[in-house]
Amino acid sequence: MAFSSNSSGGAMADINVTPLVDVMLVLLIIFMVTAPMASYQIQVDLPQPSKNLEQPKDPPKPIRLRIDGNGQLFWDGSPLPTAALYPQLQIEATRDPQPTLELETNGEARYDVLANVLSTAKNAGMEKIGFVETM
């Protein structure tokens, strides 16, 4: 006894997506209705501005210390003896805010002179030291 159908026996090619679309639209409506109700307010106490605010200090002009090929030091363009470097750096280190020490070296400058200047600056209390490259 064989059952026969008028179909060719292939798989069903069409999927009915109407129920899926109906469920998704219902979920969308539910989320749209409940989302505004989920928000609530929080009381935040903001700090009041004080009347005696300090004005921010302008950064001081950086100190340009140049070392030439002979090991001579130049403090902002004027010659400086090596013995006077430490006291001068101590004075600058106590300023508030502390200026930046910009070291500029000649290509012919010796490394031991630069290392001596760096250790002197560190011992004097300089915290902001930068290297400057000239073109």
Q: What is the pLDDT of residues 67-118, one digit of tens each?
A: 999 999 999 999 999 999 999 999 999 998 899 999 999 888 899 999 999 9
- pLDDT of 53 higher than 90: no
Taking Cα atoms as reference points, which of 110, 38, 118, 52 lies closest to residue 85? 118
Q: In what order do the strands lie in the sheet with 101-105?
A: 78-80, 73-75, 63-67, 101-105, 129-132
**pTM for the predicted model, two decimal places:** 0.57
Domains within the chain, CATH numbers bracketed: 63-132 (3.30.420)
Q: Which residues pair with 105 in a beta bridge?
A: 67
The string of pLDDT tens digits covering residues 93-106 is 999 889 999 999 98
Residue 135 confidence class, pLDDT cut points 50, 70, 90: low
Q: Which residues pair with 9 in a beta bridge?
A: none
Burial class (CB in 10 A: 0-12, 13-18, 19+), 32: exposed
Give the Cα separation of 113 and 105 in Å (integer).
10
Burial class (CB in 10 A: 0-12, 13-18, 19+), 102: middle
